Amino acid sequence: MKKTPFRIGTTSYIIPADILPNAAYLAGKVDDVELVLFEVEEGGGNLPDENTLAQLADIARRNDLTYTVHLPLDLRLGDDDLSRERSTRKALQVMRATEALNPFTYTLHLDGRSVQQEYLSPAWQAWRERTHKALSELTAFLEKPALLAVENLDHYPPDFWDEVLEGLPVSRCIDVGHLWVDGHDPLPYLEKHIAAARVIHIHGHIQRDHQSLSAIPPAELERVIGFLVESGFSGVITMEIFGEQDFQTSCAALSAVLQRLHLEAKWENH
């Protein structure tokens, strides 16, 4: 069978341990590890130190592994100027701290809850302008601005971020799981944005999201993966789940789909 045209990854929270043991555990099983840096405070938090970074880089070199970096969830890039400046500082802190790993992307949530019920209103337009300014500051740090990938979130209109990102050289992180949990057909969204996508997040939902892919009907999972194959997507597909059992059952569900498409993943030979 042919190898997949894309890289397949999962999160750094699969076994109950820190980032480094997770990377070591996943090496050889996946092509990419999403470094989940959700809890970063100014001055450190769960940012990897210099020794950890060196070991992560060594694991990557020895296993043809890449890393995607998920920036903290509490960034408020479009809120008032003080929040925007603080959030921009924190995002840059993480980007600088992980730069040596040569991340495939830095994935970013644009939190718009302050204007979520006022979509396209004057308040939303002001939020958009502040967000646009913050994104411009973040992309200025990057040699390749498309390394910054903006993710679609659940409980928002799917096109909520379109005007915000217009004219910016950022890429997309298409979270198919968020579209599923909100009851949206992911194919129209994928068709619209796949050319700008570097990362795809997939996960199941049983009452809540980020569950095993075994919760997704096989035909629906095949429909999405088949589209990604046909579109020539060559980025990273992240099984964004947390826990060893969900990882194993997600790998099994994805393997079954790939086999029907005459493809195989790295773990097939592990």
Domain spans of the chain, in order of start: 8-209+236-243
Length of the chain, please? 270
Q: Give pLDDT tens digits for 187-243.
A: 999 999 999 999 999 999 887 789 999 999 999 999 999 999 999 999 999 999 999
Tell me, what DSSP letter sits at residue 152?
Answer: P
Q: Does domain 8-209+236-243 have CATH number 3.30.365.10?
A: no
CB 141 within 8 A of CB 147: no
H or E element in which residue 230 lies: helix 218-231
With a pLDDT cut of 70, the percent of the chain lying above it is: 96
Name the pLDDT band for 269 (thresholds 50, 70, 90): low
Dmax (CA) of the chain: 55
Q: Give pLDDT tens digits for 101-118.
A: 999 999 999 988 888 777
Q: Which burial class, exposed, middle or buried, applies to 246 when counting CB atoms under 10 A from its CB (0-12, 13-18, 19+)?
A: buried
In angstroms, the CA 94 to CA 255 distance is: 33
Structure tokens belonging to residue 45: 């938090």
**Average of per-residue pLDDT values in the chain:** 92
Which one-letter amino acid corresponds to residue 243? Answer: G
Question: pTM value?
Answer: 0.95
Q: For residue 7, what are the CA distances in angstroms to 4, 117, 127, 225, 264? A: 7, 37, 35, 12, 11
In angstroms, the CA 223 to CA 39 distance is: 35
- State residue 45's pLDDT score: 67
Q: Give pLDDT tens digits for 238-253.
A: 999 999 999 999 999 9
